[in-house]
Amino acid sequence: MKEVLLKIKRQDNPQTKPYWEEFKVPLTPKMNVISCLLEIQKNPVNVKGQQTTPIVWDCNCLEEVCGACTMIINGIARQACAALVENLTQPIVLQPLTKFPLVRDLMVDRIKMFENLKKIRAWVPIDGTYYLGPGPKVSQSVQEKVYPISTCMTCGCCMEACPYVNNKSNYMGPTAMAQVYLFNSHPTGAMEKEKRLDAITGDGGIADCGKALNCERVCPKEIPLVSIIGELNRQTTFRSFSRWLFK
Amino acid sequence: MKVVVVGGGLAGLMAVIKLCEHDVDVDLISYVPVKRSHSVCAQGGINGAVNTKGEGDSPWNHFDDTLLGGDYLANQPPVLGMCEAAPGIIYLMDRMGVTFTRTGEGLLDFRRFGGTLVHRTAFCGSTTGQQLLYGLDEQVRRWEVEGKVKKYEEWDFLSAVIDEEGVCRGCVAQDMKTMEIRAFPADAVVMCTGGIGMIYGKSTNSYINTGSPASSIYQQGAYYANPEMIQVHPTCIPSEDKHRLISEGVRGDGGRVWTYKDGKPWYFLEEWYPAYGNLVSRDVASRGIYKVCRDLKLGIDGQDFVYLDVTHLEPEWIEKRQHGVLEIYRKFAGEEPTKVPMKIFPAMHYTMGGLWVDYDQMTNIPGLFAAGECEYQYHGANRLGANSLLSCFYGGIVAGDKVPEYGMKLKKDYRNISSKVFETEVAKQKTKMEKIYRLNGSENPYRLKAELNEYMSNNVTVVRYTEKLKETDKKILELMQRYQKIGVCDAGGWSNRTAIFIRHLWNMFEFSRAIVHGALLRKESRGAHYMPEYPDRDDENWLKTTKAKWTPDEPQFSLEDIDTSLIKPRVRRYDVRKDEVIKEEAEKEKVATLRKEEAVVG
């Protein structure tokens, strides 16, 4: 029987030291990394034959729409559900994301991305949920432009790949920038356009982007992050200039 | 007033927003960060009779299709309420900035879906659930900034706190990082905890859908209604870890189901059901595919597969409308669906049954409400595609409006409830957890789950035989015995996911028994419940809700009449248009009356 060899970085809690553990699981057709981890759960024994604890990791939808199972697989941040074993070199090396506080094993706490969405006012300011008729008309070409951005699942791949998201910086990262662009593109959302632009002007904002261009390369939803950030750069500059001019 | 909402999918978030608008303070407890809830998996769309295609569609027509699709097992008044609210709900989400696909005029576009002959389904490409969830998530975040909502994400619901008067006064939950167990006192609790797919293992559901919270309150005395009504979705990609859904919207956009017969493509659904074709209701389509693969042995290469074909459609057009779904197929099946037909087979998808609720979304435990997939109210014996998102919104709205009304009538505020009520429940849950930490036998909990999954998937899905159901119940009892011999294999006091899973596992067993016993009880075939021993619908005896009440030995059932006051149940046919069926039945009735009159005269 063919087997899959996995090398997994483990850590029992944020205070203890990380360690590596290797596992072998039977290979099945079209197997993904999640299936490997599920197999280990059923038989938590490492390659040395020692009984161990099941791996802790995050996963929900298993079809790349929830963003939960993001981890570093053979050096690249991506979703474990969409990582098919047949396309990976072995041993398959699994590590937790490094730009977020570790919880346990491959699980991290990505709350900071959700907190950033508060700072940038990532919502359309509707008056209420009572009946107010249809929303504004939107052309299909605009829908096609914004739809990919709204598929951002806050997975953190772009954060992991961005060198400017780190311990020493408050940079909110590409994901938050894309959401500013998304809400500023909506006819009602645009009514708070200036507030959002101001939120990404200054510390942690768009100027912290050093244009490494890694974000767009790793985005599983192929969001055009580079051009979005470029456009926002232009808009924030113009906004700062006009504020200074009309002070 | 203070309310706890459990679950941050569509129903939960909608309830939260409504409650905030009513100036209620909300604690939102969710097993996962709410933006990652299972609602993201919904693909095809949301139904609402907006009638933008000039087809003469109306909420009443939507209502009629929904009842027929559900084989008349739903109480009619709340279903009508939902269908009437649907266009407004779609407009609301449009106002929130949800990126719906548009027409040339910039209006919302609508596609066809199963069990209907009109374009009634609004959609965002093929990731409608994700887009709708994000729309609500954003509004909830806005309320969070306002200070009306406090989120407790990655907390696991353990039980409701029920006082000596039998009234729900809050709940107990566990922080899944620190493993702390504590009470959340409140004037009411709204359960929006979704489906139970993990009972079946490989289903279209998310890995988190164990049904544990709903099962907990079932064990605390809440009724579980129509547990036997399990939807199996006809078109999924079978895989090792889960069966991934291929949206019904693919057929709505022109996809065709076929297999080879005598060396030629055979479009069996189109042949058997000329009026609805590939868009028959899901139970009918799944039974059709089972018949082809299992009875006629005509699956592709003799295996459990048939084709779902979009290769005849213009590739660029279908890509635009179904990009998300086609990408899933590319990634997980490794083939190009616009060139080679997709291989699909039915998989467990949805629970029409769930916690029994009244028309205000309240369970039989005062103060304990439920909305979304975890309750039973809107879909009868089979759900129409794109009605699930709708029922999540509508249930959330009704709960969000009715809970404050309930609160106004309460004599005691949650702050005036004796702390002992909460301490007792917390102590009970802590003891339960301590017992799990101490399990040191030889059984692996994940393997026990796999055994449960096998029996449930083989015996309690599309075709149900009495003998097989009994065998399954026996198996569950065996697994419940072996549960006592589990080894926890993780003693960690920090983020101990295995211990949490073991707790869920027991709740899955309890729910499984309710499903199996419900199926054994219902001696007819209706909607998703098909028993070859009783192949016909039996309105005389079984036009009734089955209500399971938990007891330590086994579920006890009672039957409740269905409110059919608005539309008289008709024979369920998808081979002819429903207006023809209505005409036929009316004529039959006319003839019958004439005969009666003749007999009287004679």
Residues of chain B positioned with their CB less than 8 A from the CB of A221: none
- Cα B87 to chain center, whole Å? 21
Please give the pLDDT value at position B492. 75
The one catalytic residue among B282, B287, B526, B537: B282
Helices (H) and strands (E) in chain A, counts: 8, 7
Please give the pLDDT value at position B596. 87
The stretch A67-89 carries a mean pLDDT of 97
Domain A3-108 belongs to what architecture? Roll (3.10)
Q: Closest by alpha carbon to B65, among B90, B82, B43, B40? A: B82
> Is A101's Cβ below 8 Å from some Cβ in B?
no
- Cα A161 to chain center, whole Å? 10
- Please give the structure tokens belonging to residue B518: 């419900």
Q: What's the rounded Cα separation, in Å, for the pair B212 and B173?
A: 12
Over residues B424-435, the pLDDT tens digits come to: 999 999 999 999
Q: What's the rounded Cα separation, in Å, for the pair B339 and B323?
A: 14
Q: Which of A54, A122, A125 comes nearest B490 by C-beta?
A: A54
Over residues B324-371, the pLDDT tens digits come to: 899 999 988 889 999 999 999 999 999 999 999 999 999 999 999 999
- Please give the structure tokens belonging to residue A84: 């098919």
Over residues B90-146, the pLDDT tens digits come to: 999 999 999 999 999 999 999 999 999 999 999 999 999 999 999 999 999 999 999
* AA identity, residue A137: K
CB contact under 8 A, A117 and B138: yes
Q: What's the rounded Cα separation, in Å, for the pair B42 and B261?
A: 33
Please give the pLDDT value at position B602. 62
Picking from A58, A61, A106, A147 by the largest number of B CB atoms within 10 A of its own CB, the best residue to mutate is: A61
From-to residues of CATH 1.10.1060.10 in chain A: 111-245
Domains present along chain B, CATH in parentheses: 233-347 (3.90.700.10), 426-536+545-561 (1.20.58.100), 570-602 (no CATH)
> Is A78's Cβ below 8 Å from some Cβ in B?
no
Q: Closest by alpha carbon to B424, among B181, B125, B123, B233? A: B181
Helix axes B445-459, B497-521, angle to 10 degrees: 20
- Please give the structure tokens belonging to residue B225: 């209604």
Tell me whether residue B282 is one of the annotated catalytic residues. yes
Quick check: B170 and B414 in contact, CB under 8 A?
yes
Over residues B276-331, the pLDDT tens digits come to: 999 999 999 999 999 999 999 999 999 999 999 999 999 999 999 999 899 999 98
Q: Is the ipTM beyond the 0.95 threshold?
A: yes
> Is A10's Cβ below 8 Å from some Cβ in B?
no
String of DSSP letters for B434-499: HHHHT-BSSB-HHHHHHHHHHHHHHHSSSS--HHHHHHHHHHHHHHHHHHTTBB-----SSS-HHH
The stretch B234-252 carries a mean pLDDT of 93
The stretch B394-417 carries a mean pLDDT of 97
Q: Closest by alpha carbon to B476, among B439, B451, B459? A: B451
Secondary structure of A220-243 as H, E, C letters: CCCCCHHHHHHHHHHHHHHHHHHH
Mean of all residue pLDDT scores within chain B? 96
Residues of chain B positioned with their CB less than 8 A from the CB of A140: 101-104, 106
The stretch B146-168 carries a mean pLDDT of 98
CA distance B438 to chain A (A): 15
Q: What distances in angstroms separate CA B463 from CA B257, B283, B516, one per listed residue?
A: 21, 11, 13
Q: What's the rounded Cα separation, in Å, for the pair B277 and B297?
A: 21
CB contact under 8 A, B206 and A60: yes
Q: What's the rounded Cα separation, in Å, for the pair A37 and B326?
A: 26
Q: What's the rounded Cα separation, in Å, for the pair B293 and B515?
A: 26
Q: How confident is the model at residue B202 (pLDDT cuts 50, 70, 90)?
A: confident
Q: Which of B127, B241, B498 comes nearest A38 by C-beta?
A: B241
Q: What's the rounded Cα separation, in Å, for the pair B453 and B200?
A: 4
Please give the pLDDT value at position A246. 76
CB contact under 8 A, B498 and A126: no
CA distance A15 to chain B (A): 11
Preceding peptide of A91 cis, ω within 30°: yes
- Residue B404 in 3-state DSSP? helix
Please give the pLDDT value at position B122. 97
Q: Which of A61, A132, A188 comes nearest B97 by C-beta?
A: A188
Q: Report the share of chain B in percent with pLDDT over 90.
A: 94
Please give the pLDDT value at position A240. 86
Provide CB contacts within 8 A for B501, sequence distance 6+: B445, B446
Residue of A nearest to B37 (CA): A66
Over residues A155-171, the pLDDT tens digits come to: 999 999 999 999 999 99
Please give the pLDDT value at position B515. 98
Whether the predicted pLDDT of A177 surpasses 70: yes
From-to residues of CATH 3.10.20.30 in chain A: 3-108
Residue of A nearest to B207 (CA): A60
Q: What's the rounded Cα separation, in Å, for the pair B204 and A60?
A: 11
String of DSSP letters for B150-176: EEEETEEEEEEEE-TTS-EEEEEEEET
Residues paired with B5 in a beta bridge: B28, B190
The stretch B204-228 carries a mean pLDDT of 98
Please give the pLDDT value at position B597. 85
Please give the pLDDT value at position B88. 98
Whether the predicted pLDDT of A70 surpasses 70: yes
Over residues A202-244, the pLDDT tens digits come to: 899 999 999 999 999 999 999 999 999 999 999 999 998 888 8
Please give the pLDDT value at position B490. 86
Quick check: A161 and A217 in contact, CB under 8 A?
yes
CATH of region A111-245: 1.10.1060.10
Residues of chain A positioned with their CB less than 8 A from the CB of B21: 128-129
CB contact under 8 A, B141 and A124: no
Residues paired with B545 in a beta bridge: B560
CB contact under 8 A, B138 and A32: no
Exposed, middle or buried by CB within 10 Å (0-12, 13-18, 19+), for B373? buried
Provide CB contacts within 8 A for B138, sequence distance 6+: A117, A122, A123, A124, B96, B97
Over residues A5-34, the pLDDT tens digits come to: 999 999 999 999 999 999 999 999 889 999
Secondary structure of B111-125 as H, E, C letters: EECCCCCCEEEECCC
Picking from B14, B37, B99 by the largest number of A CB atoms within 10 A of its own CB, the best residue to mutate is: B99
- Residue B30 in 3-state DSSP? strand
Over residues B539-593, the pLDDT tens digits come to: 999 999 999 999 999 999 999 999 999 999 999 999 999 989 999 988 998 998 8
The stretch A136-140 carries a mean pLDDT of 95
> Is A1's Cβ below 8 Å from some Cβ in B?
no
Report which secondary-structure segment, H or E, holds B565.
none
The stretch B505-533 carries a mean pLDDT of 98
CB contact under 8 A, B142 and A186: no
Q: How confident is the model at residue B598 (pLDDT cuts 50, 70, 90)?
A: confident
Please give the pLDDT value at position B135. 98
CB contact under 8 A, A111 and B153: yes
Exposed, middle or buried by CB within 10 Å (0-12, 13-18, 19+), for B594? exposed
SS3 content of chain A, % helix, strand, coil (to 5): 35, 15, 50
